[in-house]
Amino acid sequence: MPSVQPGCLWVVATPIGHRDDLSARAVETLRAVAVIAAEDTRHSRPLLLQHNIGTPLLALHEHNERDAVEAIVRRLLGGESVALISDAGTPLISDPGFRLVRAARAAGIRCAPVPGACAAIAALSVAGLPSDRFVFEGFLPPKAAARRARLQELAGDPRTLIFYESSHRVAESLADMRDVFGGGREAVLARELTKLFETVLGEPLAELAAHVAADPDQQRGEHVILVAGRGEEAEAKLAEGQRVFAILREELPPAKAAKLAAAISGAPRRLLYQESGESGMGNREW
């Protein structure tokens, strides 16, 4: 049995797929605490039973977090130790738990991590993309216009970009990334990590988007999408695209000038279109 400090909130990472990825320290901690706050008790129970963890469970999810936090903090202040877990991976990373950790810290309660799996980091470790600087964006907006707007804001970021995406939107998101970032931008799709059908595909965005759109199997399961940041080559393409656009803009409407300049230079046409200072590009095909 580990030494579990009374009145401590333990933030415990659980497997993202393979159940044997639960660490020995995580098992001991989950056995020793007074109660486990789980995102979905039905989902977590089989994992806990496999590791002979009989600690009581209580639900803490996005729909009850505001109400549940006060009760859990009272238990912590009363000297009970509590573990926080999510359905998979590290709590708070695109999962509930932020309000609990924030409230616990505000109340002077110790919050201690028990590290383990995180899909974003696991994907980055095998992607072969620059890992010295990266940014985790979580899930993109579900609506197309908002999703494209967010991607546009990230188009110039030099860091590796990491996204989570659902199975029913992954093809659309990859297509939007291709259109906004440019089809030649290097990208990786990591699917079903540590599970039976684990797949890691690394291709330029144009090829990756086409591959996933044509293969329904690649649209199933849990996805992490990683996209290389805009590097020196992309900067050079953009500079050339801006030069060509400025020339064409003197004779052509902005949309047409951006389309031709992008075809000539390889720069993203949406970035070139911004040069015109106009808006309302919307979903038009041009």
Residue ranges making up the domain that contains 111? 8-117
Domain boundary among 117, 138, 167: 117
Residue 282 has pLDDT above 60, yes or no: no
Position 285 in a domain? no
Assess contact for 201 and 188: CB atoms under 8 A.
yes
- Taking residue 276's Cβ as centre, other Cβ atoms within 10 Å add up to 15
Structural domains in the chain (count) = 3
pLDDT of residue 232: 63
Assess contact for 38 and 138: CB atoms under 8 A.
no
Domain boundary among 117, 133, 160: 117
Position 139 in a domain? yes
Average pLDDT over residues 198-221: 96
Q: Nearest-CA neighbor of 9 among 65, 67, 88, 91?
A: 91
Average pLDDT over residues 133-159: 96
Position 1 in a domain? no
The answer to whether residues 60 and 86 belong to one domain is yes
pLDDT, tens digit (0-9, with 9 covering 90-100), for 210-250: 999 999 999 999 999 999 998 766 677 778 888 999 999 99
The answer to whether residues 223 and 134 belong to one domain is yes
Q: Considering the entire predicted model, what is its pTM?
A: 0.80
Residue 284 has pLDDT above 60, yes or no: no
pLDDT, tens digit (0-9, with 9 covering 90-100), for 78-88: 999 999 999 99
Assess contact for 258 and 245: CB atoms under 8 A.
yes
Assess contact for 223 and 166: CB atoms under 8 A.
yes
Assess contact for 248 and 259: CB atoms under 8 A.
no
pLDDT of residue 78: 96
Average pLDDT of the chain to the nearest whole number: 91
Q: Nearest-CA neighbor of 37 among 54, 58, 16?
A: 58
Residue 166 has pLDDT above 80, yes or no: yes
